[in-house]
Structure 1
């Protein structure tokens, strides 16, 4: 479970006995801070960060050299791990200066090297971990991340092979009497707690459906519809999307009914498996949980309330997920496709009737998803309905929405409130541009470019090309930004921001100050999260394979959040700073809690990377 922390203690004991250490290619000795004790061994003062998943031969390939001292380097080399043979030498280029805990930093670009194999980078005494360069480095990664989605299932949970939350739920704020019984069991738990939000679930469902539509070859068929092992003739990603769709149907049971949330933060009553959830929400309801009707007005049954202004942000997400589902299912299941089309149309109408943002409801604590934008959701809903029906009216309305929010507002900003601008990229511009005439297409592409340029203006001034703000769930923003860069390249064929796109992808898998992947268990032999804010790992040592954790936050955010305590020695002490922190400790829910919707977005990105790498390999032949 805590293998990294156990390893540190073991290394300390060994170093006391061993006078001289043997250097293994691609490895370096831990520093004094890292082993949390003094030794006579000289500490490393410089490190090289790389993407632990590896690189494809044709891709942009960059490592980042960082140092605790104001040293300079001029050159670096790429070394074959098995033989120690130098296969490439490169110039370090310009110095980027201080960043976070480091005094100096460089980008080591070895994109010109096209060989296949396992290698490490070296500059001075610093060596990177070993990594692969091959066309198949991303093969199976999207399917691996699907493991976490299955594990997050409510209702029947295939990982635990048991059911949970089958009594959900009773209504609040609806046109029916409060506490009316309604069946909304199913769906996915939002994170490591057991709340369920329509906004994140609908967005996740759309990403899974889009991944199946755009990259069907990236997914296998190893599981049944219920998530248990066994082929059923349907791609696993489509099975997972259907699980989400079935819950969305329950949350939109009538054309004038839309529910936004299941349960609230009374759920935060200690670590337990979902199948052992003991929380009683009161009112004599036992294990039933409240279901919040989407009224478009502020809600909150306890001390705190949200600032909701409408329904359109949730309704638009429902409309896009249902419309895309109708398009996908139409060839094989006409009756199901008609149902999804009907639900898309009714959800979209609710968005028209009640424009504005529909935020999640707090109860005991002041934290909630503070979504303030909604025209992006209605744009995507209208674009999906245009693709489904061919009705030009939907295109025209979607385009008008696109003009109201050309750039997702967090891009270029230093901070934002929690989920204030959600989803973190606007899929609507891409879906609309695919079917637009030349003038409208060029405008929509320019909206993407404007947002990317804002992030580039900040990010390309540091060695990690980091322009995404370190707000709560920064990894979700990073994933979305990489997707937007990818979609922009697909539409424009402009490679201007390709290195920035790759840098954001690399960040997620180890090319960051801490040198760790942000995805549990990926890659299998890498430094990845272990002590996550999850009952699965903390109480039972169950792996949460494929889960994307929240990611680093500004130091001042970490210091001001309630209820955070680190329970283990911090193996990343040398890499923390006032600027930003990340902890692999279950006590830090701000940086180390996996999220369902972030993982769903990552599945799209990983599928795109696998598709592009194999497409590039075929083109080379």
Structure 2
């Protein structure tokens, strides 16, 4: 009898193992959830050869009842590792609640439909910005890089000390760049300007807990502005970069770096408009306007947002907005970052978009003060005509940060101020850029038309914002499904079935082992950090120094097309960035700030069969071959910053 029981147990175990091992289809959803009147599309992706013929169902997770049933529709064919892919459109389901999708034996994770699904997410991502602070770091409750820095290439003797301590570390390294910092600062200021009711006040100006009668996003934006003022301390002094890639010499929690040859000081690169590089490699700088424009737009918007809170500070911002703008006029061209001992640097190749935004914000700021401002607006429009579309739109590749920032923000600001033909021109530029992505995106189920180059998640975020701005400027919802697909991609509706934002949302599959010293050495969470994102398989194969530290949990979802690894060893896909996170904060604020009435569905869903009262026997749900998740705080709840994320997530079967 005992042998019989053992035999039965063995057979059951083998059957379970076989069933798990042969899992060949998955349903990908947005883990954050969906708004009642917004578009709702999940992706069925499979490796099977059989055509998917049965309809899909939306099941109430509480009652087990099928509330909606619809045909799966068109087979979009192969994508990455999958041989079949379908878009499961359930936009017709509007009742708030918890649901999951099911087709045959394949079942999705649960998700929510509610008006508040995005509430608190923007504030949650501010945690990462605070953790990236240099000078005083509120997460560590300690100071770092307080001796910065010594000058290079400036009008003063090389190695002259100048106080530029502060700002944010750029990514998981501790370099600091004006282009990314100014862009991040602008996004934070714009998020508050456009959606002031979204943000809470739980932190002081220094980032420690406690309200100070100012939204946390403004505290963070002012941290960025303070550093930018140090980097542009005089009318004709402008620095572009603090530290260089010698920073990559070792893994460490930020403190005092002593490997630049001058104690704990780090080099500060003056913006000369000419090629720079202290060692073998040089950049291809041709001017300073790309940096000057970013300085000016951040300062001018800072003046507008902060003038009623701190007039003296705002006046200083206005003064520097003007001087930076003049430097941009005097030295047109690009101001690329300086390489150190390796050939890699931010290869920004355009500047008219930066000057367009600067001129637009100078117009806004000058008009507030009663100045004659028409010339600024005319200049902004003229700059906009030079670069109608951000050049990466529709391209398959680009050099690192070649077209930065990844969205022409100036078009939006100009379009809001001009009328008639000029407005049509500017709005048309947005539409033609979106259309280039759409022509590629509509051929695959995920609606992906964005190239898988480094920081593809940053591009995705910026493109979603462009779609959002186009929709707001025109009332044209034709690209709403594409906009939502980009947003869904960031939060789980992708081949790997993972959110790309650390810890958001709670209880979902999110990065656990990013390329970050905070998590790798300190076992600290990097809540809210947006990781770089997937890259083409050909890029990954040609990178130097990448070695996965653990078995790849997503091995069955990798392909020659695109790869993503939640592994510390992959610095190309899994490193969080400060500027990408700041852009995401704007997008999340927009999502929360939108009224339900504004979130209309672009394409009416096909008529579907209504299912009444059909019960679904609820058992253990099939997994999507994802990893067991950590219990983390969502964007809607406050959580302790002392949690450890040191343990790698295990795969859930």
| Contact preservation (8 Å) 2:299, 2:317 | yes
- Match of residue 19 from structure 1: 12
The 8 Å contact of residues 521 and 528 in structure 1, kept in 2 or not, is answered as yes
Partner of 2:43 in structure 1? Answer: 64
Residues 73 and 124, structure 1, Cα contact 8 Å, conserved in 2: no
CA distance in 1, matches of 2:422, 2:440: 28
Contact 2:384 2:411 in 1 (8 A): yes
Ranges in structure 1 where 5+ consecutive residues have no aligned partner: 1-15, 23-28, 30-37
Q: Write the mapping of 1:271-282 to structure 2, written as runs, cut at 5 A.
A: 271-275=251-255, 277-282=256-261
Alignment equivalent of 1:577, drawn from 555, 559, 569: 559
User: Tell me, which stretches of 5 or more residues in structure 2 are unaligned?
Assistant: 1-8, 368-372, 601-653
Matched with 2:142 is: 162
- SS of corresponding position for 1:106: strand
What is the number of equivalent residue pairs in this alignment? 586
Per the TM alignment, residue 127 of structure 1 is displaced from its structure 2 partner at its CA by 1.0
Following superposition, the deviation at residue 71 of structure 1 comes to 2.8
Q: Is the 8 A contact 2:145 2:257 kept in 1?
A: no
Out of 346, 352, 373, the position equivalent to 1:369 is 346
Q: Who is 1:227 aligned against?
A: 207
CA distance in 2, matches of 1:70, 1:213: 51
- Structure 1 counterpart of 2:355: 378
- Cα distance, 1:443 vs structure 2: 1.0
Q: Counterparts of 2:236 and 2:24 in 1: how far apart (Å)?
A: 62
Match of 1:350 in 2: 327
Q: 1:240 to 1:580 in 2, by over 3 A?
A: same
Q: Is the 8 A contact 1:267 1:279 kept in 2?
A: no
1:193–1:268 Cα contact (<8 Å) kept: yes
3-state DSSP class of the match of 1:274? coil
- SS of the residue aligned with 1:574? helix
SS at match of 1:521: coil
Q: Is the 8 A contact 1:78 1:122 kept in 2?
A: yes
Q: In the alignment, which residue of structure 2 is the partner of 1:11?
A: none
Q: How far apart are the structure 1 equivalents of 2:470 and 2:253? A: 41
CA RMSD of aligned residues (A): 1.6
Q: Does 1:178 align with 2:162?
A: no
Structure 2 matches for 1:180-579, cutoff 5 A? 180-275=160-255, 277-282=256-261, 285-390=262-367, 391-579=373-561
Query: Who is 1:604 aligned against?
Result: 586
Q: Which has the higher mean CA deviation after the structures are superposed, 562-571 or 119-128?
A: 119-128
Distance 1:114 1:412 in 2: 34
Distance in 2, matches of 1:333 and 1:471, equals 41
Distance 1:617 1:298, change over 3 A: closer
Query: TM-score w.r.t. structure 1 length?
Result: 0.92
The equivalent residue for 1:82 is 62
CA separation in 1, counterparts of 2:239 and 2:346?
15
C-alpha distance in structure 2 between counterparts of 1:388 and 1:99, whole Å: 48
- Flag the 1:389–1:515 CA change in 2: closer, same or farther, 3 A: same
Task: Tell whether the 8 Å contact from 1:46 to 1:67 is kept in structure 2 after alignment.
Answer: yes
TM-score (normalised: structure 2): 0.88
Residue aligning to 1:103: 83
Deviations 1:551-592 (Å, cap 9, x if unpaired)?
000011111112111000000000000010000000100000
> 1:328-359 CA deviation, whole Å, 9 max, x = no partner?
11223222221111100000111111101111
2:30 alignment partner, one of 38, 51, 58: 51
Q: Choose 557-566 or 372-381, whichever is displaced more.
A: 557-566
Alignment deviations for residues 199-230 of structure 1 (CA, whole Å, 9 cap, x no partner): 00000000000000000111000000000000
Pairwise CA distance, 1:17: 7.6
